[in-house]
């Protein structure tokens, strides 16, 4: 996926969708292989497969601020 611009989309009340070539590392510095062109990263902090989203945000009622209210 070289030369593909990275795009990040914040899903309302859900994860960050990241498209393009990225590098994710574990806390100890090990590289996590990118298996898909798009990955969903947890924003609620409750996923059991961090840094990836597992859908827990729905079960806990995670709510984000509407855009423009920062």
Q: What contacts 24+ positions apart, CB below 8 Å, involve 46-51? A: 51/24
Please give the CATH architecture assigned to the domain spanning 7-60: 3-Layer(aba) Sandwich (3.40)
Strand-pair partners of 32: 24
Distance of alpha carbon 58 from the chain centroid: 15
Position 65 confidence tier, pLDDT thresholds 50, 70, 90: confident
Inform me whether the pLDDT recorded for 1 exceeds 60. no
What is the structure's pLDDT at 66? 80
16: closest CA among 42, 51, 38?
A: 42
pTM, two decimal places: 0.83
pLDDT at 60: 97
* Residue 44: Cβ-neighbour burial (10 angstroms; 0-12, 13-18, 19+): buried
Other CB atoms within 10 A of residue 40 CB? 19
pLDDT digits (tens, 9 = 90+) for 7-54: 999 999 999 999 999 999 989 999 999 899 999 999 999 999 999 999
């Amino acid at each position: 996926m070289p030369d593909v611009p990275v795009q990040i989309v914040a899903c309302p009340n859900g994860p960050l969708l990241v498209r393009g070539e990225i590098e994710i590392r574990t806390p100890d510095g090990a590289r996590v292989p990118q298996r898909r062109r798009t990955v969903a990263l947890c924003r609620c902090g409750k996923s059991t497969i961090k840094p990836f989203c597992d859908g827990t945000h729905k079960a806990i009622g995670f709510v984000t601020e509407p855009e423009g209210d920062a």
